[in-house]
Structure 1
Amino acid sequence: MPRSTAPLPADDAGDGSPLGAAVRTYLGHLAVERGLAANTLSSYRRDLRRYVRAQEARGRTDIADITEDDVRAYLVSLREGDGDHAPLSAGSAARALAAVRGLHRFALREGLAPGDPACDVKPPTPPRRLPKAISLEEVERLLAAAGAPSGGDGGTARGLRDRALLELLYGSGARISEAVGLDVDDVDLREGFARVAGKGGKARVVPIGDYAREAVDAYLVRARPELAGAGRGGPALFLNARGGRLSRQGAWMVLRAAADRAQLSEVSPHTLRHSFATHLLDGGADVRVVQELLGHASVTTTQVYTLVTVQLLREVYATSHPRARS
């Protein structure tokens, strides 16, 4: 990714005030010493330009004069918007505040200010988004569509590969990036497990159910040799039409095509992973077991799926119990 090393003009983040100068020094630090990507640096520049203008409108022209109340007022203005800016969501406001917090930490460290007025200003908490899972019947439709003759690839190498990929994703709960990163030697079909490399390179073992084992075995025997013949060979489990490793984008296209054939909407790369976790919990699995299977560092991350199952219980109760509603 390209790095930005361009000089910062004098009016890049404000006028010639000491505050504007401090921001330009910070942006130069991010560009040269931290080597931030050009797009990231552009976002920081835009956010801090707005911050400078807001503080100068409050009479704060020196970064050393900014107080915690000034920072808090700025955060409020982000959420409420003004004549020139629409209100920001919690996530966007948190991103803008992160730029401000980084600026003040830098100013304190470099001796440009006697303290850090932003250190105790907490970003707004974004609303928790519940993961979207599809029903078991919808999963079965999706998996059948991956290798359906009506899709044109039913008995072909690509059709067998697509069915194996989606069966593995749902049968193991692996991320798409983890699945396409698998090598043939990472999968033990006799024992029924695969070793995947999760976030941060942390490896974990995930089980592979009978349906996924059969689909992967059929792909390895009947399809992968044909796909491998189009390339130079390699260890990757899932191959593209040129014999190279299937990419995340390629796997996403496989999922999207199967979803279209199954007439399912709002199916994302994480849908099968979400469905894997939700269906396990619905079936009585312990949340800590699901945590290990998903590779979550904290059980708190996994517990969001319990909210989905509780919500389902409430919906069933509300529509089924005679005294649920007046």
Structure 2
Amino acid sequence: MNREIQLVQRPEGTPNHDHLKVMNTNIPEPQQGELLLKTLYVSVDPYMRGRMNEGKSYIPPFQLNEAISGGAVAQVTESNSPEFEKGDIVTGSLDWKEYSTVKAESVRKVDPSLGPVTTSLGILGMPGLTAYFGLTDIGQPKEGETLVVSGAAGAVGSAVVQIGKIYGCRVVGIAGTDEKTSYLKEELGVDVAIDYKKENVKEALEAACPNGVDVYFDNVGGSISDALYPLLNKFARIIQCGAISSYNTPNDQGPRIHMHLIKASALVKGFTVGDYQDRFKEGFDHLSSWLKDGKLTYEETIQEGFEQIPDAFFGLFKGENLGKQLVKVADPE
């Protein structure tokens, strides 16, 4: 038998087990040009919450009573394509299923010489590319500038702070536990780490950024961003990558930011990594080179068992993960 996880009800607030269901199905048969894949690792990511809603967005919503999909690493167990052999390790956007069939061109082989296969879902995958393009293309960091990163101990944020240091920035990271702030300071080398759960964020930011803020990489939104906007320097750049503080709060409202943008002549731009699809090789080459040279490191939080996927996803909204949150589904054959 094969198991899959379906969206059976659209959440209006924080998602829970009532919204997802594990279903038993048959293992599918691959057709010509297709692969049968055994899922090894599944990535859970905050953007998936938005896909649980109806309505227009940058990516189609999940359909009810169908399997959820997202980044995954899998092993080819049967190939009907000359491009792949049984045993190959691949990555792509796959359904939350133990076994699935896909068109061969929809996945790519993982190069094990670059690092553990899980890095293709983290520092060498979507989070790393998001960090690279968001910071370098929109943020345009310059040596000596002050970069502030919210959600700094997550998969994207932890890459951003390191790339910021590579570019010579003074980096301030915001996270939510002692473990995370220690990680930011001791492992990633940020100049100041702020614990938003323990500190007055407005006062902490003012103390950490006496010369203002030049670049803000925002993964969180909400009250943290409200506290930062008054500190923007002339021609500051704001990279709006995420707003996880509001994902489960429909019609979330906050202070008006327009005057801060006008006074600073600031740029704010939202983006998704798909905007840079035609430049992925550029980003991958930089990230893999930095990783090889020891300029980048990474952390992974891995839960084990297919049935743990929902809880791993729910944990994102409680800040339970350090670095990339993954679920190990199976060992390779």
Which of the five TM-score ranges fits, normalised by the shorter chain?
under 0.3
Larger of the two Rg values belongs to structure: 1
Structure of higher RCO (CA pairs closer than 8 Å, 6+ residues apart)? 2
Structure richer in strand, relative to its length: 2
Structure richer in helix, relative to its length: 1
TM-score (normalised: structure 1)? 0.26
